[in-house]
Amino acid sequence: MPHVSHERSGAHSALHHRIAAHARVYDLIQRVVGGSVVFRHVELWLRLAPGAYVLDVGGGTGGLKRLVGAGVRHVCLDLERAKLVGYASKFEDARPVQADAAALPVRPGAVQAVTLALVAHHLTDGDLHTTLREIARVLAPDGVLILYDAVWAPARLAGRLLWKYDRGSHPRTVEQLAAALGHDFDVVERPEFAVFHRYVAFRCRPRRPRSTGVER
């Protein structure tokens, strides 16, 4: 493997980050890697009752909004203002929120669904744990978490090439993602599929505290 200095690598990563953060470039990248195909695998999970809130954590330019049912209120939360500006420019009823997924500015139990779409591989183990704990806090007791992401599958040549250039530096296997979810959620469904990457989608319910069996 050729040697690349940390300084040069860091500068390249920063430039890549700035380019990919631009709303139009971000949307183009999502189309190139097959984002619309991935969306179709979770579309039915987003058909909620009118008036329900969907919190799209790390939602970028809000591509998932087109999948929610009529009357469902979509809130796009992201750290990068440029993406949220792009989101607001596409939808008259946009609800952009600039915030950190590790400290969601939402009251407990306030939303019926949370999406964490193509975000987990950008998070360290510690940040992923904190984010999932925050999602569990803001979900209604009967709410749903929809998490999907590309997974580490080195047998797929196309996937290995994409991971080489992906801004996310924490790819995980299906089993590792399932284990991370298991602290706070019960997995209801877990389909796996491939576009260029190998993907997994999880539909989860908040894990309820176990009964002690003692009645009062």
Asked whether residue 187 carries a pLDDT value surpassing 50, the answer given is: yes
pLDDT the model gives residue 13: 38
Query: Could you tell me which of 47, 39, 77 has the C-alpha nearest to residue 199?
Result: 39
Percent of the chain scoring above 70 in pLDDT: 72
pTM of this structure = 0.78
The answer regarding whether domain 6-206 maps to CATH 3.40.50.150 reads: yes
pLDDT digits (tens, 9 = 90+) for 55-74: 999 999 998 898 898 899 99
52 and 73 Cβ atoms separated by less than 8 Å: yes
- Which tops the pLDDT comparison, 216 or 117? 117
Query: Could you tell me which of 170, 171, 113, 124 has the C-alpha nearest to residue 147?
Result: 113
pLDDT the model gives residue 9: 35
pLDDT digits (tens, 9 = 90+) for 130-155: 999 999 999 999 999 999 998 887 55
Report the amino acid identity of residue 172. Answer: R
pLDDT (mean) for 159-181: 74
pLDDT the model gives residue 12: 35
Which secondary structure element, helix H or strand E, spans residue 140, and what is its range?
strand 139-151
Sequence ranges of the domains in the chain: 6-206
pLDDT the model gives residue 10: 38
pLDDT the model gives residue 77: 97
Sort residue 141 into left (φ over 0), alpha (ψ -120 to 50) or beta.
Answer: alpha
